[in-house]
Chain A
Amino acid sequence: MKKHAGTENRPCRSMLYIPGDSPGMIQHSPAFGADSILLDLEDAIAPSEKDAARKMVSTFLDSFDFGSLIVTVRVNPADSEYFENDLKEIVPRTPDAVRLPKCNEISDVRAADCLIAEIENDNGIPVGTVKLHAMLETALGIENAFSIAKASPRVAALTIGGQDLTADMGVQKTLEGWELFYARSRVVMAARASGVSAFDTVWTDINDIEGLAKESKQIAELGFTGKAAIHPGQIETIHEAFRPSPKELARAQRVVREAEIALHSGKGVVSVAGRMVDAPVIARAEHLIALSRLYDYEEDGGGLA
């Protein structure tokens, strides 16, 4: 069982993909400063290595101390021969979540949900312990984003798979990323509407830190809560994009202070600078303050990929 160090409610700005058959990378994963890692059993693993990778990831989940890292395992798609074995081996070891590729419809999530619940039951694990991150990588999946997010309380995040999606759309991924603008907006809206996290796709050119910075800033502003990384050198750039601005932070601190005063003085209404603020604004302010604490040591930004 994965050794937990209280990963609930941790902001998850970055998800570092690590091939499941790469022990050298997995053993160093807590050192890179990512908020979470994605141990990959799917695209990064050749068919001949699927069993070995599954075994490797299981062994690490059994015995390795991941510290405060959020640990997610990307399993193979439901229509693959590996899917059931992946879940049977991985779920009992309770990673924080499994990432389910190619979710197109509610039924995809429901089927996985049932299987995971069964495995949880069989292993005496409270049902719902292992969360599910639904990967949307087809036009159909994007159009069904909201219903997929609402398909089960187990769904904790929607995540967009940019490469497969652009292929499905019959377009190319461009530097500007306009082809993904609608899909991203749709995923963010569905995630917000259903109260789950929204994770953006990877930036594939590890030498182009500037391009990554630009895209990360865009998706953070669009409302994504995190972004996947394919190299540790991308993590700081991604984190930088989510850093609250000093102005934002100052305002958030005022909002929270006023909210506390209002609470203690029995006032029902919170106002800042003469304007009323309501609950979602206060929640966002609290989130920004929590987020800002993560930046104490990450002051330099950028990085060499």
Chain B
Amino acid sequence: MTKRIVITGIGITSPLGGTTDETWTNLLAGASGASPLEQEWVEQLGLPVTFAAQAATKSADVLARQEVKRLDPSSQFALTAAREAWADAGTPEVDPERLLVDWATGIGGVWTLLDAWDTLREKGPRRVLPMTVPMLMPNGPAAAIGMDLGARGGERTVVSACASSTESLANAYDHLQQGLADVVIAGGSEAAIHPLPLASFAAMQALSKRNDDPKIASRPYDVDRDGFVLGEGAAALIVETLEHALARGAKIYAELLGGAVTSDAYHITAPDPEGTAAARAMRAAVENAGYSLDEVGHINAHATSTPVGDIAEYNALLAVFGDRLSEIPVTATKASTGHLLGGAGAIEAAFTAKALAEKVIPPTINLDNQDPAIPLDVVTEPRPLGDEPVLAISNSFGFGGHNAVVALRTYVA
């Protein structure tokens, strides 16, 4: 029998704020998390992109000194978000063997890896710290969370670029359906505002080069969009069976109806322009849960603000929803947060859950001239969702041709 699955806790550390509340408040206020990078390496290396959406709260201000020393920044963000989500969920009493972590990262411990490489070249192998590998490994964030919260049901890691943490949320649903756990800590983190990824993304012309005005650089669906803005941070969601949530009197943000994962098998970075596999993921996420596509009333789009990506997603949406697409309010919150890569899906699913719980859709900023090729109903000011239950989807697509979609619905007892 299919179990009902709900979201009972949210934790966020992002360019918009160090907590869920701060992030959400700033998102609704139409803030941008992007700013110029002050680090000396920007000029030293002559990077073509000189801004990013950096985390608003420094890990050193919220974690113990030893945690900062022993964890890569991607794990530090993960721990901060997971702790907040856990506290927000009311620190559930759960058998450790029934508590599972399904975490995600797009890139892993890139700071640790490259700092250690510098040390090796400059000072020799003897100076390479023994914690280097456990810090840089991409499963480091999942392990840090699992150790901190005492999860013995597995510490799993998804790595599927920018689709990663939507996939981890889809997995969380499946683990709970399969009876592997009562509670899952799902989410993703990224700390890749490092010169190497910046140089690489810039080389592939994926990043906005609007160096003179970072706050308006991320502008999904706008005719003048010129690429995404690299972001960092983490979002964690506590996901559990409705039965478990009710038994402990938990507050419920939204119901998680499930997720779907497909792949393009088309090109390593370019989305399939037909969007066939992306469309299939959207359909499956909704229909596998026994709902009709006609019931979808809100979409948190992947929409990174790249010229081709936004169009490809629009084509996939059109294939799925047809004429009804123009009636569905869409938001593209990367306009405010930047692109958290492996953390993007989780933060957007968290925004979707908050939207359903608070009955308000967060806005897409910087949409001054909507691309006529993308005639969506884009929400540009906070918009009330109404009192009827709403079914929403959150899309994520990643390099490698990964498509992941989760479907959420207003919780109805």
Q: Do A and B come from one complex?
A: no
Which A residues are within 8 Å of any B CB, using their own CB?
none
Which residues from chain B sit less than 8 Å from chain A, CB to CB? none
